[in-house]
Amino acid sequence: MDRTPYLPGRLSDPHATLRDDPRADPRIIAALAAVNGFEPAVAPIGLDAPYEACLEYCQAMESAFAAGNDQIAAAMPAFPGITTTTQTIKGIDGNDIKLFVHRPKSVEGPVPCIVHTHGGGMVLMSAEDPMFVRTRCTLAEMGLVVVGVEFRNGGGRLGNHPFPAGLNDCAEAVKWVHRNRQELGISKIVISGESGGGNLSCATTLKANKEGWVEHIDGVYAMCPYICGGYADPPAELLSLYENDGYSIACQQMATLVKVYDPEGQHATDPLAWPYHANSDDLKGLPMHVISVNELDPLRDEGLAYYRKLLAAGVPAVARTVHGTPHAGDLGYPDLTPEIFGETMRSIYGFANAL
């Protein structure tokens, strides 16, 4: 019997691609192949690129993602069971923060609220992007109040506002939702987001704990969280950064975005910027967490490492791995893989109602 150890992805073949990985959901592979989705949307730049070049790269990335928004919006179903309004609040820097409030029309009594912090590495994309709108509307149609936060980005059209601007905006949004629990008709507050939004969900809760208002947050549901920050020289213990490098996202790409979020690198191990670096004292007293990761995501292992840190600090936590999917793949293909999308939506809904 051949006892050669099995090594997945690029651990066994440095030239492996998502297209050829037998673990990948074939429906996602076919969809990516149809739009040449295996090539970088924007050519990568060097790790030593200056801040200004990183900003330009960020803007190009945002434009590339936005090119698909019309198609995503056209595929979005109607949501007759909800209402959507906007609310503008003030941030701590005197800035405006737009909140998108989605409510189910027919509910009895207070219901849980999801404060949603969108993805984009904290430096690009918008809460108005249709992928994020669909997630919020789906959860509201299921019977939750959902508040999407349009926080300041490190770059792109909502930038340039490095750390901690976006984090501060997310914190102010949670505080506003807490102050308006009765008017919103909500029973609990769960903060949730994907990728960079997963970072902000975790970091907002760490900030609340540090500042003494963590009781405002009843739970955290962080999806494919982008929380390490060390992508220019990936930590050896985070094997997925090697195993799945270049599978939809790449370490070189993420290292560029890190520089947009923290231009001088002063916060490389600050857990409010990169929650992976939180220690037991930072984590003690946090509310229950779900950390959801994607099997074929470079970020998979940093999410799981954070989950283990939570458990070690006595925080109730659950981890789930969505198999066959790349980064945020359970959210990005709702019509192509409706079973996967629906399962993640039901998981968030069930978590919020079980708290």
Q: What pLDDT sits at residue 1? A: 63
Give yes or no for residue 65 having a pLDDT over 80.
Answer: yes
Residue range 154-174: mean pLDDT, rounded: 98
Give yes or no for residue 3 having a pLDDT over 90.
Answer: no
Instruction: Compute the distance between CA of residue 241 and CA of residue 54 in angstroms, rounded to an integer.
Output: 21
Domain boundaries of the chain, sorted by first residue: 22-354
Beta-carbon contacts of 264 under 8 Å, excluding residues fewer than 6 positions away, are none
- Supply 131's token pair: 């992928």
Instruction: Compute the distance between CA of residue 81 and CA of residue 137 in angstroms, rounded to an integer.
Output: 9
Instruction: Compute the distance between CA of residue 130 and CA of residue 65 in angstroms, rounded to an integer.
Output: 11
pLDDT band at 229 (very low <50, low <70, confident <90, very high): very high
Give yes or no for residue 351 having a pLDDT over 90.
Answer: yes
Full-model pTM: 0.97
Residue range 88-103: mean pLDDT, rounded: 98
pLDDT digits (tens, 9 = 90+) for 39-49: 888 999 999 99
Return the CATH fold of 22-354.
Rossmann fold (3.40.50)
The answer to whether the CB of 162 falls within 8 A of the CB of 154 is yes
Q: How far is CA 318 from CA 68, 260, 261, 305, 309, in A?
A: 33, 31, 29, 12, 12
In the block, residue with structure tokens 């109730």: 316
- Supply 303's token pair: 């999410």
Q: Which residues of 213-239 are buried (b: 16+ CB within 10 A; e: fewer)?
A: ebebbbbbbbbbbbbbbbbbebeeebb
Q: How far is CA 127 from CA 191, 238, 299, in A?
A: 15, 30, 22
Q: What pLDDT sits at residue 339? A: 98
Q: What percent of the chain has pLDDT over 90?
A: 94
DSSP letter at 4 equals: P
Q: What percent of the chain has pLDDT over 70?
A: 99
Name the residue type at position 347: S
pLDDT band at 36 (very low <50, low <70, confident <90, very high): confident
